[in-house]
Amino acid sequence: MAAESKFRYMRNPLAMFGGWLTTVSALLFLGIFFADLFGLHTNPYLGIVAFLVLPGAFVFGLVLMPIGVYLAHRGERLAKPSLILAWPVIDLNQSHTRHIAAVMVFLTVANVLVISLASFRGVEYMDSPQFCGQVCHTVMKPEYTAYVNGPHARVPCVACHIGPGAPWFVRSKLSGTRQLFAVAFNTYPRPIPWPVENLRPARDTCEQCHWPEKFTGDIVKQVPQYGDDEANTPSITTLRLHIGSGNDATGAQGIHWHMAPSTRVTYITTDPQRQKIVFVEVQDKNGVRKFRMPGVTDEELAKGERRLMDCMDCHNRPSHKFDQTPEAAVDGAIQRGLISQTLPFVRREAVAALKTVYPSQAAAAVGISQHLTGFFAKQLGPQAEARKGDIAQAIATTQALYARNVFPEMKVTWGTYPTNIGHVDSSGCFRCHDDTKVTADGRVIKQDCDLCHAIE
């Protein structure tokens, strides 16, 4: 009775349940952990169970055990108030007690190990693009789809959205918890609004991999456009973009001048999307210049959002770039040979199929296929059979363009997320470079066609 009585409180049902919960979740966790180590699972939902739910259950079980013991202890005292319940005497001279102490030390080390493994993998897992992009799949589908097709597909979401250091990590987990509730209770906005207001300044994130001093010279970009005629006649604009920052030997300046170490551009915007810019202040080697939109009152300026320009003010779609129009999407696909330019009127018809409004991506796939199959059957008649391969490829590509850009369930469609690079499909550079904002001495932010690029 003596030895047993020291541990009789562990028989409390709550404590026993705690012990059971801890043991089972630890075993399951370790099982999945090692399977994961050897690459045996890829399901993102299993990750939630393995790295968030199981460790939670494990710790919960650990907490239940002392509570159960305490309750049992209190129950006994209430039942027999006369009984003086002394603390058990731990006498390491007794071999039985020594064994129990050894087991306790072992269990504690095992617990610490499981908890550290779990927190390490839990954090790593929550930082993975899988977790960010696939677990909330409807919500993040547009951004994830654009991401895997973009130039940063190998850069984890957290490199841009959180960056290094503990403070932003904590901030992101707090806002992540809020977002989890929004998803659970279906209160999240559709589409997900932009800009991301509290995005970490780009100097901390982008500059881990790119830095403005590196930019020199020109890059050449070809912007294709095809006609709506039978031959889908091409016209290609070749832009030679001056992307320097004034840091090369020639001192030639260019587009990344805004980001040169000696330049600071601040602006005031009056709409939440930062598309209407009414005031710009520059500080650079040549001093300070303030450009102001005529007719804007001091009150409007005071009410606007003031922001230090960084990479994101131009590269707002570095990783989630959507085609701005069906025309641009189809032109790009023809240029890359994904739609055969030799199919008559294919540009016009693919654009028309993409412009139709469908209730879902599945409906769009069917609609696009019917539209193009029907059109080519009529247009080509008996020759359609010979072009079967090209037609099938045109259909598959057009369906993919739709699935890449339009997400009816998230209310995302062509142009929902405009890009600030350029000025043709959205205001972009011309938000500032519009020849209207002036300094006191009459200087404007120029729109000269050769300021940013040469057109060949």
Interface with ligand HEC in residues 20-49 (CB under 6 A): none
Tokens of 413: 């469609």
**Residue number with CB closer to ligand HEC (8 or 173):** 173
Q: How far is the CB of 350 from ligand HEC (least distance, A)?
A: 18
Tokens of 14: 């709550």
How far is 216 from 252, CA to CA, in rounded Å? Answer: 8
Question: Does residue 315 interact with ligand HEC by CB under 6 A?
Answer: yes
**Residue number with CB closer to ligand HEC (192 or 354):** 192
Question: Does residue 421 interact with ligand HEC by CB under 6 A?
Answer: yes
User: 422 vs 27, 94, 202, 221, 314, CA distance in Å?
Assistant: 55, 81, 20, 12, 9
**Residue number with CB closer to ligand HEC (265 or 372):** 265
Question: Does residue 255 interact with ligand HEC by CB under 6 A?
Answer: yes
Query: What contacts 127, CB < 8 A, 6 or more positions away?
Result: 156, 157, 158, 162
Task: Give the Cα-Cα-Cα angle 448, 300, 444 (nearest 5 degrees).
Answer: 15
Site size for ligand HEC, by CB under 6 A?
77
For CA atoms 368, 374, 380, 386, the dihedral sign is positive
Residues 343-382 that bind ligand HEC (CB under 6 A): none
Residues 423-452 that bind ligand HEC (CB under 6 A): 423-424, 428-429, 431-433, 445, 447-449, 451-452
The DSSP H or E segment spanning 359 is none
Residues 264-283 that bind ligand HEC (CB under 6 A): 265, 267, 277, 280, 282
Angle at which helices 137-148 and 388-405 cross, to 10°: 120
Binding mask 97-136 for ligand HEC (x = CB under 6 A): --------------------------------x--xx---
Q: How far is the CB of 226 from ligand HEC (least distance, A)?
A: 12
User: 394 vs 174, 328, 356, 391, CA distance in Å?
Assistant: 45, 15, 17, 5
Binding mask 162-201 for ligand HEC (x = CB under 6 A): ------------------------------x-xxx--x--
Of the residues 122, 254, 326, 367, which one makes contact with ligand HEC according to CB under 6 A: 254
Question: Does residue 293 interact with ligand HEC by CB under 6 A?
Answer: no
Question: Does residue 210 interact with ligand HEC by CB under 6 A?
Answer: yes
Of the residues 318, 333, 339, 399, which one makes contact with ligand HEC according to CB under 6 A: 318
User: 96 vs 7, 9, 99, 101, CA distance in Å?
Assistant: 12, 18, 5, 9
Long-range contacts from 434-440, C-beta under 8 angstroms, 24+ separation: 436/293, 436/294, 437/277, 437/278, 437/279, 437/280, 437/291, 437/292, 437/293, 437/294, 438/291, 438/292, 438/294, 439/289, 439/290, 439/291, 439/292, 440/290
Q: How far is the CB of 419 from ligand HEC (least distance, A)?
A: 8
Of the residues 97, 216, 253, 270, which one makes contact with ligand HEC according to CB under 6 A: 253
Q: How far is the CB of 376 from ligand HEC (least distance, A)?
A: 28
Q: How far is the CB of 215 from ligand HEC (least distance, A)?
A: 7
